[in-house]
A = this chain, B = another copy of it.
Amino acid sequence: MMPFMMRLQEAIRSKGTPLVVGIDPHLHLLPDCLLRRWSSTGGDPFQWISEAVEEFCLSVIDRVAPLVPAVKVQSAFFERLGPLGMVVMGRVLSSARDHELLVICDVKRNDIGSTARGYAEGFLGSEGESCSPDQKWRKSDDESAFQTLPSPWASDAITVNPYLGGDSLDPFVQVAERSQAGIFVLVKTSNPGSKDFQDLDCSGSPLYLHVADKVEQLSIATRGSGPYGVVGAVVGATFPKQVAELRARMPHTWILLPGFGAQGAGSDHVRAAFDARGSGAVVNSSRAILFSFRNSPYADHYGEQNWQDAVLQATRDSIEQLSLN
């Protein structure tokens, strides 16, 4: 298997767009017709809401798979539903893989070293054959004993929070290298409050640039003979000045841009994220596509009953909008 960033580049070339669809099933924005149908089955609300979320996500994946290279699945909305929601997240990730989409699991995880390894090994990698670690674990107290256990979530990439520092990133980088996966480290996030700490002046440059330098260093260390390493960066499309600054500061780092669409960023906001060959960045849109049936112009054309058609058209329109770059 090729390294993740090369697979991503190839998928973008093949589909002709760097648009990633964000699978963010906000419960209160799901189509009422879907919720009404599942709620009528009665019983445990976690059960029927999980069923509704699963149907919604699988329908979206089925519609957008021919059009885009990857999906970004937001774990928070599945965790909201407890263990049942996590079972559904597993099925959603699996469906995306079955549709030959690359899967970025947006978990924003991190912890101290030995624990970070748990997250990294859990999320990154391919399903593979279920191995049998029954011999290996007899080597008591050996941290590698369960390394051969495959990744149950089997994502191609995840998002990672840098606050805990370099030694918390290392396990993710190691596991990503080993399993041809990738990570996207939060550098400058798309929300207004990202200024509170990320923009603080640390010895003459904002905190996010210190994080960016660490990310670029890890990217260079893992790029092999390719232009990009296994470590990418999350940079909010809502901050076009920082997008340009960070593209220049991290020439060997893929950039994942949230904030396109519903958060207000347009194609002019993301242009600077791409390298001279038009590569090196993906642009995520979640709500503007998933819940397009609620908003103009899609609400009038399709209405809630035909929300899947609105998803399809909004995806096409977002691709078109991005191609105006």
Contacts and interface: CB of A to CB of B under 8 A. Distances in A.
A85 to B, nearest CB: 7
Interface residues of A, number: 87
Contact of A165 (B112, B134, B196, B294): B196
Interface stretch (A201-209, A244-252, A272-280): A201-209
A180 interface: no
Contacts of A29: 141
Interface in A174-198: 186, 189-198
A207 B202 CA distance: 8
Contact of A112 (B140, B152, B191, B200): B191
A164 interface: yes
Given A81-B122, A164-B193, A132 B28 contact: no
Interface string A128-145: 001111100110111111
A305 to B, nearest CB: 13
Majority SS of interface residues in chain A? helix
A51 B146 CA distance: 15
Given A76-B119, A80-B119, A200-B207, A108 B165 contact: no
A108 B163 CA distance: 10
B214 A210 contact: no
Interface string A28-67: 1100100110010000111001000000000000000000
A319 to B, nearest CB: 24
Given A76-B118, A130-B45, A32 B140 contact: yes
A116 B168 CA distance: 22
A26 interface: yes
A10 interface: no
A161 B186 CA distance: 12
Contacts of A145: 27-28
Contacts of A211: 197
A321 interface: no
Interface stretch (A86-94, A95-103, A225-233): A86-94
17 contacts: A28-B146, A35-B137, A45-B132, A45-B134, A79-B123, A80-B118, A82-B90, A82-B122, A83-B152, A113-B193, A161-B161, A164-B186, A164-B193, A167-B193, A197-B210, A200-B202, A202-B202
User: 4 tightest CB-CB pairs across the interface, nearest first?
Assistant: A82-B152, A165-B193, A167-B193, A165-B196
